[in-house]
Chains A and B, each alone.
Chain A
Amino acid sequence: MQKENVKNELDSDVVIKVEGLHKKFCRNLRRSMFYGCLDVTRDMFGISRDRGKLRRDEFFALENVSFEVKKGEAFGIIGQNGSGKTTLLRIINGIFPPDRGKISVRGRIGALIAVGAGFHPHMTGRENIYLNGTILGMTKKEINDKFREIIDFADIGEFIDAPVSTYSSGMTVRLGFAIAIHSNSEILLADEVLAVGDLNFALKCYRKIAEYRGKGGAIILISHNMHMIRHLCQKVVWIQNGKMINTGDVLEMCNKYEEVSLNKDYEENNISDNAKILNFDDSFKISSVDFLDSKDSKTNKFISGEPLKIRINFQSKRSINNPIFSISLLDSEGNIIFESYSKIGEIGSLLSEGTVEFLTEKLSIRPNIYDCSISLAEGELLNKIEWHERAYKVVFDNKNNLEINQGIIFPYPQWILKNKIK
C-alpha cells in the first residue's frame, strides 16, 4: 500500500472513497492454489500481470463497486447472503488487495469484527487488554489512558485478573468488545454485530456507539436488520451478487431492497410449498381461493395499511348449515398474526355453488411473506370439513411507509406531551 498526503485526491469531508472496485476469487480449490503458485512465481521474477482479468474458474466476488463515506456518517451495506459484503469490508480494512479499482482511506480503522482477536487463554484479562489492544493498533499510551474505562465497560469484576480460559463465553465477548470499542479509531467497521452480551451490556454498546457518532466517528455497518439500518444509517450501498445495485438515501434503498427481496419468493399462483390440504367430506369442495386488492384485482401482493379481500369459491353436493369459515395469517415461523372465524348465522347456509368473501379494511402489518390457512367447519369449530393449512402465500410490502420497526403491526400512534407548569 502507498501512503499519500495529497489533499486534492480526497475531498476534505470524505473518509472512504471506493472507486470501481473489483475483487475476484477462484471457485475451484486446486486451481486457486495453482494460480497462487503461479502468482508467487511471477512475483519472484518481478513479472506483473493485470489482476483485473478473469482466468478459468475465477469469478468477480465484487464488480465495479463505487461509493463514498463522509466524516461522521453511518453507512450501511445491504444485500443477500453471499453478495460480497464481508469481502468488501475486508478490502476496506486493508486485508485483501483489490484486483481492479482504488480505495482511499483517511483515518484509522477500528474493527468491531475483531472482537477478542489474539486473546491468549492462559493470560489474564488485564494482560489480554494490552495484547488485544496492541493487535488492534492502539499504542501503549492509548491503552494506559483507556485502561480504566475498558475494565469498567467490560464489567467482569474480579475475573479481570483471572486467565481468560476461566471466562464464560459472554465474558470473553464483553471484554473483547470493550477493547474494540475503545480503540480510538475514526472509522468503525461492523459486520452484523453492533452489540453483544445480555440486554444490559447490549444497551451499553449502543450508547457507546452513539457517543462515538456524536464525536464525529464514521461507521460502516453490514446488516440484515433493516430496522437497525434505517435508524442508524444515512446512506446505504446495495450489493447483489457482487454487483453494486445502487447507493443512496437509506429509506429509498431499504424500501427498494425489501420490495425486491419479497418479490424473489413471489409465486404466481400463490400456492405454498408446504401446503397441506385436507378434506373430510366428499360432498364439499373449496374449488379455488382468490386474493384481491382494493381494486378487486387478483394478486398476492398487498400494501400494508390497505384492504385485503379473500374470496373462497366452493362447490357442494349438499347444503351446509351453520358453516364456520376460518382464515388465519401466519409468519414463516408459524406465529399466528391473526385468526378470524365467521360467526354462526353470519353468512347463512352454503348451497350448491358460490363464494364466501372475507374482508379486512386495513391490515397494517410488517412487510413480509405470510402463509394463509383457510378452513370450513360445520356447526362447531372442531367439526372440520375442509382444511387448507398454510396453503397460500401473501406478500405485504410497505409502499405506505408505515413505521412498523421491530413490531408486527402498525398502531397508528399518537404521542402527546403535557409538561407540568410550575
Chain B
Amino acid sequence: MSLNTEKEIIVYQPNSRQKTGFLKSLFLMAKNIKNSRELIWQLFVRDFLAAYKKSFLGIGWIILAPIFGIVSWVFMNYAGVLKPGDVGIPYPAYILLGTSFWGLFMGFYTSAAETLNTGQGFIMQVKYPHEALLAKQILQQLANFLASFIVIMLVLLSFKVIPSWQILILPILILPMLFLGAGIGLLVSVIGVVANEIRRIMDIALGTLIFFTPIIYSSDSTGGMIAKIIKINPLTYIIGGVRDAITYGKIENLSYFIWSGIGSFIFFLFAWRLFYVSEEKVIEKMI
C-alpha cells in the first residue's frame, strides 16, 4: 500500500458537477461506465438471477408475458369489437410484435426510472458511479427482451410470418427507443425522488400513449384528431417503424424515423446530463 505524491487527488466542491462542461460530463459518465463494467455485470447477475432463482416460472414469465398481454386485444378483434384495419399479416402476429416493441420501450423507461432506487441499500454507504446502475438496468431490460423475443419469433413463424432481413440490424433499430425511453426514465428517476407523483403521472401518461400509436391498430384505420396525433407522435416512427421493418421489410416515412431517432438521442444526452448534475443533490433526500 504505497502512497506516492502522484496518486490521484479527488476534490469535492459545491456545484462542481454543474461547473463541469456538458460534453465533459457525458464523457466522464461514459468512462465511469466503462470502468465499472465488473460492477455492472455483478449487479446484473444479482438482479437477473433474482427473478430466475425465485420460482420455476420466474424466467418463464418473462418469456410468456407478451403472449398473455395480447389476449384481450385478440379477443376483441375476434369478437368484432376491435377493427384494426388491414394490417397485412394475421392480427395476433401483428399485435404480438407491436406490443413486444412497445413493451421494450416501456421497459427502457421503467428500468431507467428505477435507476436510483435499485441502488438503495448501499447508495448511502459506498461511493460508486451511479450511472453504472443505469447501464445495469438497460442491460437487464435487453436481456428480458431477448428471452421473450425468441419466443415471439417462434410464434410469428407459426403464423407463417417470416421476419425480414432487417431483423439483423434490430440492435440499431431499437436505439431510438432506448434513448427516448431511458431519457424520460432518467428524468423521472431524479425528479421522482423529490416529487413522488411524477413517476405515477408519467407511468399513466406513457401508458395511455399506446392508444395514440399504431400498435394495436394500423395507421390507415383512423382519421380525424387521432390520425393527426399519430402523425406527430415520435413513437409512431420509433416503435411502429421497427415493427414495420421486421414485418414488411421497410419503414414507411424513413426520414421521420431517422429524425425521431436523432431527436431521441439528443434528448437522452440532455437527460443524462441532468442526471449527472442533479443526482448527488437528490440522493440526500433519499434518507
Contact = CB atoms under 8 A, between A and B. Distances in A.
A332 interface: no
Contacts of B2: 216
Interface string A31-59: 01110110110011010100110000000
Contacts of B3: 15, 71, 106-107, 186, 216
A242 to B, nearest CB: 15
A114 B38 contact: no
B9 interface: yes
Contact of A39 (B6, B38, B278): B278
Contact of B191 (A40, A98, A100, A186): A40
Interface string A88-117: 001101111111111111110101011001
A113 B13 contact: no
Contacts of A169: none
A155 B85 CA distance: 68
Interface in B93-110: none
A25 interface: yes
Interface string A119-162: 01011000000110011110110000000000000000000000
Most buried by A among B16, B38, B195: B38
Given A5-B9, A106-B3, A217-B1, A100 B14 contact: yes
A419 interface: no
Contact of A40 (B12, B16, B121, B282): B282
A39 B18 contact: no
A118 interface: yes
Contacts of A48: 15, 18-19
Contact of B281 (A5, A10, A39, A104): A39
B128 to A, nearest CB: 7
A333 interface: no
A122 B42 CA distance: 14
Contact of B54 (A96, A97, A122): A122
Contacts of B285: 32-33, 36
Contacts of A98: 12-14
A139 B14 contact: no
Given A122-B54, A186-B1, A131 B46 contact: yes
A95 B14 contact: no
Contacts of A3: 8-11
B131 to A, nearest CB: 13
Contacts of B14: 51-52, 97-101
Contacts of A37: 191, 194-195
B122 interface: yes
Nearest to A133: B42
A8 to B, nearest CB: 10
A350 to B, nearest CB: 62
A366 to B, nearest CB: 34
Contacts of B43: 118, 131, 135
B252 interface: no
Nearest to B7: A106
Contact of A43 (B10, B125, B277): B277
Given A104-B9, A117-B122, A123-B46, A40 B278 contact: yes
Contacts of B191: 37, 40
Q: How large is the interface on B (under 10, 10 to 19, 20 to 34, 35 or more residues)?
A: 35 or more
Interface string B190-203: 11011100000000
A194 B125 CA distance: 16
A216 B1 contact: yes
Most buried by B among A2, A130, A131, A186: A2
A281 interface: no
A97 B16 contact: yes
Interface string A1-40: 1111111011010010000000001000000111011011
B87 interface: no
A95 B278 contact: no
Contacts of A93: 125-127
A37 B121 CA distance: 23
B122 A135 contact: yes
B10 A135 contact: no
Contacts of B19: 48
A234 B125 CA distance: 25
Contacts of B122: 114, 117-118, 135
Given A25-B284, A106-B9, A1 B193 contact: no
Contact of A36 (B50, B121, B282): B282
Given A36-B285, A51-B14, A97-B281, A44 B49 contact: no
Q: Which 7 A-B pairs have the closest CB atoms?
A: A36-B194, A117-B122, A114-B125, A94-B127, A103-B12, A43-B277, A134-B42
Interface of A: 1-7, 9-10, 12, 15, 25, 32-34, 36-37, 39-40, 43-44, 46, 48, 51-52, 71, 90-91, 93-107, 109, 111, 113-114, 117-118, 120, 122-123, 130-131, 134-137, 139-140, 184, 186, 215-217
Given A4-B9, A37-B194, 14 more contacts: A1-B12, A7-B6, A43-B277, A48-B19, A71-B3, A104-B10, A106-B9, A107-B7, A114-B125, A134-B39, A135-B39, A139-B38, A186-B1, A216-B2
